[in-house]
Amino acid sequence: MKTSRDAMSMADAIKNYIKKTGKEKGFQNAEIVSAWPEVMGQAVASRTEKISFYKGTLYIKLNSAPLKNELVLSRAQVAARLNEHLGETIVMNINIG
């Protein structure tokens, strides 16, 4: 039987399982996509046509040119906010189209 010092949170247990089974990439993509509206707000989320994540790069397609320009200029801050929300550094680059 495990003692309390050996206990881990359910989230950590799930992350360990996902990492061990090799499904981490798909999980990260889903985690980032679901975090996007919460981190960026509904105004940005409603103007996001497509979002995907591959090998450290977040790909975002927007339907608003002014918003695209604004996010291009603040890519580093957006990545930092997402990584902070996710609790680890996953998003290294952002490609906005």
**Which domain, by its residues, includes 37?**
28-96
CB 52 within 8 A of CB 75: no
Per-residue pLDDT of 61-96, as tens digits, reads 999 999 999 999 999 999 999 999 988 899 999 999
Is 43 inside any structural domain? yes
Residue 22 confidence class, pLDDT cut points 50, 70, 90 = low
* Residue 61 backbone phi and psi in degrees, to 5: -115, 125
**Better-predicted residue by pLDDT, 65 or 30:** 65
Is 4 inside any structural domain? no
Look up the CATH number of the domain holding residue 82: 3.30.300
* Residue 33 backbone phi and psi in degrees, to 5: -60, -40
Is 17 inside any structural domain? no
Q: Which amino acid is at 11?
A: A
Is 21 inside any structural domain? no
Is 19 inside any structural domain? no
Q: Which amino acid is at 97?
A: G
pLDDT for the residue 44: 95
CB 48 within 8 A of CB 36: yes
Number of domains making up the chain: 1
Is 77 inside any structural domain? yes
**Better-predicted residue by pLDDT, 82 or 6:** 82
Mark out the alpha helices in the chain (DSSP H runs): 10-21, 24-40, 42-46, 65-73, 75-86
